[in-house]
C-alpha cells in the first residue's frame, strides 16, 4: 500500500529565504507526482506535475524534483514571499487516475 509522508509538517521562514519541502513515498512504482498548494479553507491548486520518466519540473520560482528509486520528491521555492504562505501537498499518482496525498507542509513566510 502506497504511503506518502511530508516533512516538515510546518515551516516558518523570513521573507526572501530559499526553502525545500520534502515528500517521500513507499512504493517507487508510481505513475506521476503532483505538487499542490492549498490556502486555508480552499480547494487545491496544481503547481507542478512530474511524470515518472522525468527528473524535475520548473515553474517560475518553483522547482520540483523526483527520485523514484529512493522514493523522494522535493519542492524548492526560491526567494520566498508572504504570498507563498499556504499548505503544500504532495500527491503520488498510483495509476492513471488516482492520487495518494501526503498530509502537507504548512508554510508561513514572514514579512
Partner 1 sequence: DTGVSQDPRHKITKRGQNVTFRCDPISEHNRLYWYRQTLGQGPEFLTYFQNEAQLEKSRLLSDRFSAERPKGSFSTLEIQRTEQGDSAMYLCASSLQGENGYTFGSGTRLTVV
User: Which residues neighbour 52 within 8 Å (Cβ) at sequence distance 6 or greater?
Assistant: 30, 31, 32, 33, 66, 68
- If the CB atoms of residues 8 and 16 are measured against partner 1, the closer one turns out to be 8
- If the CB atoms of residues 65 and 104 are measured against partner 1, the closer one turns out to be 104
- If the CB atoms of residues 80 and 87 are measured against partner 1, the closer one turns out to be 87
Tell me which residue has cell 520528491: 73
- If the CB atoms of residues 15 and 98 are measured against partner 1, the closer one turns out to be 98
Site for partner 1 contains 99 (CB under 8 A): yes
How many Å apart are CA 66 and CA 18, to the nearest integer? Answer: 19
How many Å apart are CA 32 and CA 73, to the nearest integer? Answer: 11
How many Å apart are CA 22 and CA 105, to the nearest integer? Answer: 9
Site for partner 1 contains 59 (CB under 8 A): no
> Which one of 14-22, 29-37, 64-72, 73-81 is the stretch in contact with partner 1 (CB under 8 A)?
29-37
Binding positions for partner 1, rule: CB under 8 A: 4, 31-32, 34, 36, 41-46, 49, 51, 89, 91, 93, 97-104
Amino acid at each position: 500500500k502506497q504511503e506518502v509522508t511530508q516533512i516538515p509538517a510546518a515551516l516558518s521562514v523570513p521573507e526572501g529565504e530559499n526553502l525545500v519541502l520534502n515528500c517521500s513515498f513507499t512504493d517507487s512504482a508510481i505513475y506521476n507526482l503532483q505538487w499542490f498548494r492549498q490556502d486555508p479553507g480552499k480547494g487545491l491548486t496544481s503547481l507542478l506535475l512530474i511524470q515518472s520518466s522525468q527528473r524535475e519540473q520548473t515553474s517560475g520560482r518553483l522547482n520540483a524534483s523526483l527520485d523514484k528509486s529512493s522514493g523522494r520528491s522535493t519542492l524548492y521555492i526560491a526567494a520566498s514571499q508572504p504570498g507563498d504562505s499556504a499548505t503544500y501537498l504532495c500527491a503520488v499518482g498510483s495509476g492513471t487516475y488516482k492520487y495518494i496525498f501526503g498530509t502537507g507542509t504548512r508554510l508561513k513566510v514572514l514579512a
